[in-house]
Amino acid sequence: MGIIIMISTFLLTNKPIISLNRRLLHGALAGGFSREALQQWSMQEWNDKHSPYSDLLSQKVSTASIDYLNEHPHPSSELAKFFFKSVPFAPERIILTPFRYQHSALPNIFTEGTKYLFWTVRVHTPLEIILRWQLNGIDGCTMIAYDPQLRKVYHGHCIYVSNEVKSSGLFRYVMIPLHEKYARLRYYLFSSSSSFLAP
């Protein structure tokens, strides 16, 4: 109900997103945009008491991007679009598209239930979007969020694998380090590239 009030307020007053009550804009991550909050959400989502692998990166963005996001009614949706059409994501997009061609068109707006490739939106508020994915028995989620007061964007992941895979040396010493390096590179290029600016 709070989100409906927030959207109605925006439509009636045409006030920028930064001027609205921030409590109405946050969704699932009640504890804030943190790795721990994302991890807790994923444990509830999967109804699992075991903590998944999780990471969270954050970075301040350019003034032009801040101005664009602050005036947009759905900053999290815009961030999701920027991410999925970014150059760093291109290799994944090329590889995954043939397997989910029916969901390969980038949506104009990401809302709850929206599907893109292997991702499905589970949570959507103006400042936060969480998408869930599943591939070959591996479950995961991707979170993208924006804090207008701190002028930061956030990008996090959770990955669920079986205990057997989790305890293997391949997962701990090869897969996770490679994922972390790739996530940092992809996130840095995404948040600092010119494609992040308003069109």
Considering the entire predicted model, what is its pTM?
A: 0.76
Q: Does 46 score more than 80 pLDDT?
A: yes
**Cα–Cα dist 134/127, whole Å:** 24
pLDDT at 2 over 70: no
- 115-130 pLDDT tens trace: 999 999 999 999 999 9
57-81: pLDDT as tens digits: 888 888 888 888 888 888 999 999 9
Distance CA 11, CA 5 (A): 10
- Mean pLDDT is lowest, of 14-23, 31-40, 84-93, for 14-23
pLDDT tens per residue, range 7-34:
333 333 344 444 444 444 456 665 578 8
pLDDT at 139: 86
- 193: three-class secondary structure by DSSP: coil
Looking up tokens 């308003």 gives: 198
End-to-end CA distance of the chain: 32
Q: In this predicted structure, what is the pLDDT of residue 117?
A: 94
Q: Quote the pLDDT of residue 42.
A: 87
